[in-house]
Structure 1
Amino acid sequence: MYYTAEVSNMCPVAKGAYHGPAPIPEEGQWIQAKEIKDISGFTHGIGWCAPQQGACKLTLNVKEGIIEEALVETIGCSGMTHSAAMASEILIGKTLLEALNTDLVCDAINTAMRELFLQIVYGRTQSAFSEGGLLVGASLEDLGKGLRSQVGTMFATREKGPRYLEMTEGYCSQVALNKDNEIIGYEFISFGKMMDFIKAGMDANEAIEKAKGHYGQWDNAAKYIDPRKD
């Protein structure tokens, strides 16, 4: 350690009471975090790219400072999906500090990592008061059956009105309208279920029909339209 001449010529003065870091909630305990290995928690957050044309939802499960689990979900340009693939390999096994200072390929993922770092080190995680934290693999519960991201995709114009394209349940194949042409329901295809049926040996057309479902006042509709064509 090197000191300036002014500091070198100063006489030593003893430090008084020790004021340690404020304890933060981590997996059901109050922890005075002093090192990266003192940090544990499960959380997720959002990041965005510089031109704000896309976003990333990043979920991390950290145990004793090490990222044990990462779920990377992106929406935006096609390059973001490939960046997510690379980030999923880069993140696991790194410490929080390493991950914060690693190029995760896409600005949106880098920004999400920054936001998650702040959440985790300040004890603002989803597992802050969960004794023992969440099991590695807990992020898959957000995806549901078929392990597909839950995405809402809607399109609308002033002239022609709204079109439901993708809902939580899946791909919207038809929209139900009442006599006033107002949306009162929709038909969806659960791609996750459909692929499970096909992988089990079911005919593709039969799998599509079996994976269909309806929401709202489907049976009371005056007419049905294809939201991508009609």
Structure 2
Amino acid sequence: MTNESQVEPVAPSPALLAALGTEHFALQSAASSTIGESGGRASIYLAAVSGGLVAIGFAGQAPGLLLAFASTVFPTLFALGWFTVVRLVDTSVVNAVALARIQRIRAYYASLDPSAAPFFPPDSLGSQGSLGVRYRRGSVLFTTATMVAVVNSVVGGSGAAMMLSAFTRIGVLGSVLAGVGFGLVALGASLRYQIRRFSPLLNRG
């Protein structure tokens, strides 16, 4: 009577392990670079806003110059803010995708040996995210893109209120209310854009 032979798992080839290690390193580098780029772009935008507001303050000493200067600065800063928000969302998506792919590699590492599982715990992008961070729709409220979007909405609303007050007859109160409405619409549009971009990633968890 012969004993049934048990099929032993095939050991991964050294080439595969080397490729996985290289991919893991490349993904970590990509994730790190997105963080650096996000901080740099946010800093550039906030510096531009700060410089623009200081310049507007100096121009306020000449009422005839203030309106012309503000009419140029506010739209420029608002457009720059939108470009910054779009790119910040892009870098956030790249970071999330890189982390998700790293988790797949870690899951494979855990399958190589039964004793390796405690060192590579499962981590789903949709449920826990990376290292226990949970990603939900409300997570977009705490991103760098949202921080810039809030500031940009204030810039856009202030510019709209100033333009309406100068070129229309709706009065100061009406201009302020219209500016607040413009800012809220701009902020809502940026949040909606972020949620739409992140939804495919969150739905995979």
Task: Tell me, yes or no, whether TM beats 0.5.
Answer: no
Q: Using structure 2 for the length normalisation, give the TM-score.
A: 0.23
Q: Which structure would you say has the larger RCO, counting Cα contacts within 8 Å and 6 or more residues apart?
A: 2
Higher strand share: 1
